[in-house]
């Protein structure tokens, strides 16, 4: 038996997240700013680094706990999705989710946004469409939406958790699921 790089996008994304956290621990918080989408008031449309930070914010994490929470979902669900949809589609869905959550953060929140929880929630909702037949809505999608999105709407009181990014990521996953299975 040999080890196979079975989900190149998901695995590479995960490795990049670990590398960014390691480098931020080595170089300090200023390094991590490049991987945090700026909030309202801190964003400059003329600054290419702000646009880059909007796209790269899913790679930045504040702690090992933060990273491992997101990667446990991404590495569990992501390879199945990459096999189903293909690597190009996965890259596109991750980039679009990062762009949408980052831009909405700039428009509506003053705090910076960092972490791949939007991507993780996108994958959670998208995964419930894997067995979708023509013209139906999977009951698993409804149950997952109720469980995960309902928890985010109700909130769990965790400080520093972007319930907004979770909701937007989940909505992006639902949108991708409906669009990819029309």
Q: What is the CATH number of the domain that holds 98?
A: 1.20.1540.10
Domain enclosing residue 95, as ranges? 8-180
Residue keyed to tokens 């996953």: 173
Q: How confident is the model at residue 84 (pLDDT cuts 50, 70, 90)?
A: very high
Q: Is 2 inside a domain boundary?
A: no
Angle at 118 between CA 53 and CA 170, to 5 degrees: 145
Question: 28-37, 64-73, 162-171: which has the highest mean pLDDT?
Answer: 64-73
Q: What's the pTM?
A: 0.88
Q: Is 60 inside a domain boundary?
A: yes
Domains contained in the chain, number = 1
Mean pLDDT computed over 5-25: 96
Tell me the two tokens of residue 142.
Answer: 């409804």
Query: Minimal CA–CA distance to 105: which of 149, 159, 169?
Result: 169
Residue pLDDT, tens place only, 153-175: 676 555 455 678 888 998 999 89
d(CA 117, CA 163): 9
Q: Is 3 inside a domain boundary?
A: no
Mean pLDDT computed over 4-9: 94
Residue pLDDT, tens place only, 103-147: 999 999 888 999 999 999 999 989 887 776 666 777 877 787 788
Q: Is 53 inside a domain boundary?
A: yes
Dihedral sign computed on CA atoms, order 116, 163, 72, 32: positive
d(CA 92, CA 110): 27
Identify the pLDDT of residue 54: 95
- Tell me whether residue 181 is exposed, middle or buried, using C-beta atoms within 10 angstroms of its C-beta: 0 to 12, 13 to 18, 19 or more: middle
- Residue 37 forms beta bridges with which residues? 113
Task: Give the Cβ contact number of residue 146 at 10 Å.
Answer: 10
- Using DSSP's 3-state secondary structure scheme, residue 87 falls into helix
Q: Is 1 inside a domain boundary?
A: no
């Amino acid at each position: 038996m040999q080890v196979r790089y079975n989900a190149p996008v998901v695995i590479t994304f995960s490795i990049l997240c670990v590398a960014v956290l390691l480098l931020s621990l080595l170089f300090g918080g200023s390094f991590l700013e490049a991987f945090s989408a700026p909030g309202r008031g801190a964003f400059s449309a003329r600054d290419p680094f702000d646009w880059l930070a909007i796209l790269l914010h899913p790679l930045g994490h504040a702690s090992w706990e933060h990273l491992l929470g997101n990667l446990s979902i991404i590495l569990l669900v992501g390879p199945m999705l990459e096999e189903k949809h293909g690597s190009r589609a996965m890259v596109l869905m991750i980039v679009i989710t990062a762009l949408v959550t980052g831009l909405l953060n700039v428009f509506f929140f003053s705090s910076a946004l960092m972490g791949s929880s939007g991507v993780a929630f996108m994958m959670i909702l998208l995964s419930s469409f894997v067995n979708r037949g023509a013209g139906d809505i999977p009951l698993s999608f409804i149950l997952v939406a109720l469980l995960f999105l309902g928890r985010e709407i109700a909130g769990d009181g965790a400080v520093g958790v972007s319930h907004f990014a979770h909701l937007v990521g989940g909505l992006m996953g639902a949108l991708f699921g409906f669009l990819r299975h029309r």
